[in-house]
Structure 1
Amino acid sequence: MNFSGTVKLNPVGVFVLLGLTFIFFVYSFAGKKTNEREVNLKNVLIAAVNAAIKGGDEIKVFNTVDINKRSKGKTKEGANDFITDADVRSHCVMYYGLRYMFPFIKAGSALNLIISHFAITFVISEETPQSDVCEKYYQKLSLNADDANINALNDVYVPIDDITIWIDPLDATQEFTEQLREYVTTMVCVAVKGKPLIGVIHQPFSKQSITSWSWLGNGISNNLQQKNKVKVDTTNPKIIVSRSHSGEVKKIIKHAIPTAEVVTAGGAGYKILQLINGNVSAYIHMTAIKKWDICSGNAILNSVGGHLSTFSGKDINYADGNDSVIKNGILAALLNHEWFYQKLKSYVPT
């Protein structure tokens, strides 16, 4: 019998075996259960702001490039649900940037790529391109903040299992395809146990490329300061609604609040900012709307004293990524939410 033969090892198999061995070691000796692993919300906020800005930068590339508009299907109301290459590129940098910045098991940079395959996917995006599509666009996010207000915040740790992150890589795609780019935003929302705590709305086509952010009970961006001081007119209120998915909302408002002025705009993020800036008294949407459209605005509105609810009068829970649709619309107001709710609730099926 010949024992002198050479044994050839598959390098890929060895690499995988070493990775699995490392993971077993971490689970066996780290001294923490899975659901006790924590993440620093301050770091999540910094990454969320940077992700929204990077996503906006990808969108701005398409000022001079064909956007490749196509339909993902039809909405319940029969309108096309468009996607463009700008949506995809923004998704790639935002989704994978956040996902790989906060893997379930933290490790050295050489092992992050392996370990991230075992991550809990707690980032939910409107778009769904896979990693092979996004590979050439992926960018590592920074945990350095340029905003002094963020740098002054304290570290707050929460269990990673409690976190759900919602992103909208390009809000107002319909308007983007029509060159109405003032309505376009990129958004990131961080919910803890279903409650929207951190909201980021970035306006890539605004003159100063404005980024609005808030962290409930901790801080807000400079441009949101004093927004809770805005007065709201309930005698002749101005109500903002969707220009492309309005349904019966204009007719209902006319019956419920005859003195109201109705204005239309694109993008849920844009409409929430108009509300917070005091340019309108309420934001009403009465057809189906997705949680990634409103989570960021909900978080910011909460931070400045406003309120967003369904027409059942209930706050929205953002914990479950499998339940992403609000079927009967939403009501948002900076002040006097209850007044608008009482006026409108009998007109809206719940």
Structure 2
Amino acid sequence: MGASIDERKPMVSGFGYASHSSSGIGSAHFRGRGRSHAPFKTWIWRHWPLLMVGSFGAFYLIHRLSHMGSSTSAPKATSQSAQQLRSDSSRVQNGKVRLSDLIGASIHLSEVAAHEITDVKFGGKEATEVKGKTDEGVDEPVTLADARSNSVFVNGLRELFPGISILSEETDPDLEEVGISAINGVELTHDPWLDLNDILITVDPLDATKEFTENLLHFVTTMVCVVHKGKPIAGIINEPFVKDEAAVWGVALDKATEGADLRVSHGLQPSTEDTVAGADKVVISRSHTGSGADVVSEYLPGKQPVFAGGSGYKALRVLEGDANAYVHVTKIKSWDVCAADAVVHAAGGEFTNLKGERLVYEKDDPMISGGIIAAADSKMHAWYVEKLAPLQSSHGDKHRI
């Protein structure tokens, strides 16, 4: 005959000990009052290691049960300080960021921002205000699309790269987590880790806002630029209203500052042949038609001005052969031209001031003076620098360079 339940060796279970019934199901037995404590003390002495393990298990079980239903995600940040924003998707390691991550994140955010822009335009949500005037007295509009695109870029970059410096055309947005779960970095043959303190990201969340309000949507772009020690090394230009077109991006690195010489462009095929359709065309701003058209007629023989909106659009037209050069003779902001600068250089072109000098982008000063010449190759660029040289002396004030 088998042993009775009381004769079986007990198994520790929680705060008591369990025995097996004939059905094989464990049941808890607790020592009650009125029983002798001597056997119990003896049992405790013999089995104290098992009791310790069981007690720890019970404590862990209670701890887990007490936290069931509570959120395990990080609380949403309430401060606009980038240092206080925390994300599991942060790409910053020991104060450094990988260039491919910066580019991949910017491409992804440009696609999200493009969706926001088209949603505003086609969803009947457009509302326009005037935020100020240009140096020429032209109204500078701002729309809900600008604000929503800006929120995507600024908050997304802060979420992925806490502490990064961002210079955007629009004001600092209310903090709103973008909730990025995964970013695919681009593949580069040289992919340096860069010190976060040496990086500036310029953002134009909606270039050609005036044209956006006038439904000239082919001029509209979003632009992001990665600046390293004052020099643009990567640019991303997205055209939200150009169907089935991916973002155009480019990388231009120098061995002296980034450890290797590298020129990579994606999404365009620049042409430098004089026989292309745009060989006699110079693209200039629609907003500054007077001074731009005068410069072309007075200093650039054989060239015709083509009026367009947005620096991103103008740069792409040059690189794709629709225009011979992009010329600008008035002051302009860094977020308007930085991405275009990087993309043009990545494609083997030149993007300088009217003296032929590279532009420098500062964290504390967004103003770019001295005009702009952008061309698809150095030979064409040199011709424009030579022809426009008189602007630097006798006509600087006239054309507000």
- TM-score after normalising by structure 2: 0.68
Among residues 310, 314, 324, which one is paired with 2:366 in the alignment? 324
Provide the residue aligned with 1:204 in structure 2.
240
The structure that is helix-richer by fraction is 1
Among residues 95, 101, 122, which one is paired with 1:43 in the alignment? 101
Among residues 282, 289, 292, which one is paired with 1:246 in the alignment? 289
Provide the residue aligned with 1:4 in structure 2.
none
**How many angstroms does 1:71 deviate by?**
0.6
Q: AA paired with 1:205?
A: F
Number of residues paired by the alignment? Answer: 292
Q: Is the 8 A contact 1:69 1:177 kept in 2?
A: yes
Q: In 2, Cα distance between the equivalents of 1:141 and 1:179?
A: 34
**How many angstroms does 1:199 deviate by?**
0.7
Q: In 1, Cα distance between the equivalents of 2:385 and 2:181?
A: 41
Q: AA paired with 1:259?
A: G
Q: Is the 8 A contact 1:93 1:139 kept in 2?
A: no
Provide the residue aligned with 1:275 in structure 2.
318
Structure 2 gaps of 5+ residues are 1-74, 76-82, 84-91, 253-261
Provide the residue aligned with 1:91 in structure 2.
150
Q: Is the 8 A contact 2:264 2:347 kept in 1?
A: no
Provide the residue aligned with 1:53 in structure 2.
111
**How many angstroms does 1:37 deviate by?**
2.3
Q: Does 1:74 pair with 2:133? A: yes
Provide the residue aligned with 2:303 in structure 1.
260
Q: Aligned residues: percent identity?
A: 35
- TM-score after normalising by structure 1: 0.78
Q: Is the 8 A contact 1:310 1:329 kept in 2?
A: yes
Q: In 1, Cα distance between the equivalents of 2:275 and 2:288?
A: 25
Aligned to 2:289, what secondary structure does the other structure show? Answer: coil
Q: In 2, Cα distance between the equivalents of 1:259 and 1:301?
A: 24
**How many angstroms does 1:151 deviate by?**
3.8
**How many angstroms does 1:277 deviate by?**
0.2
Deviation >3 Å, runs of 4+: 151-155, 232-236
Among residues 121, 124, 129, which one is paired with 2:167 in the alignment? 124
Describe the superposition over 1:50-78 as per-residue Cα deviations: whole angstroms up to 9, x where unpaired.
11111111101022223110011111110
**How many angstroms does 1:98 deviate by?**
0.7
Q: AA paired with 1:84?
A: T
Q: In 2, Cα distance between the equivalents of 1:129 and 1:157?
A: 27
**How many angstroms does 1:138 deviate by?**
3.4
Q: Is the 8 A contact 2:159 2:178 kept in 1?
A: no
**How many angstroms does 1:141 deviate by?**
6.5
- Once superposed, what is the RMSD of the aligned Cα atoms? 2.4
Q: AA paired with 2:183?
A: L
- Give the alignment of 1:1-350 within 5 angstroms: 37-62=95-120, 63-103=122-162, 119=163, 121-132=164-175, 135=176, 138-140=178-180, 142-144=182-184, 150-151=186-187, 153=189, 155-216=191-252, 217=262, 219-221=264-266, 223-225=267-269, 227=270, 229-232=271-274, 237-318=280-361, 320-335=362-377, 336-348=380-392, 349=396
**How many angstroms does 1:218 deviate by?**
5.4
Q: Is the 8 A contact 2:333 2:366 kept in 1?
A: yes
Q: Is the 8 A contact 1:232 1:278 kept in 2?
A: no
Higher Cα Rg, which structure: 2
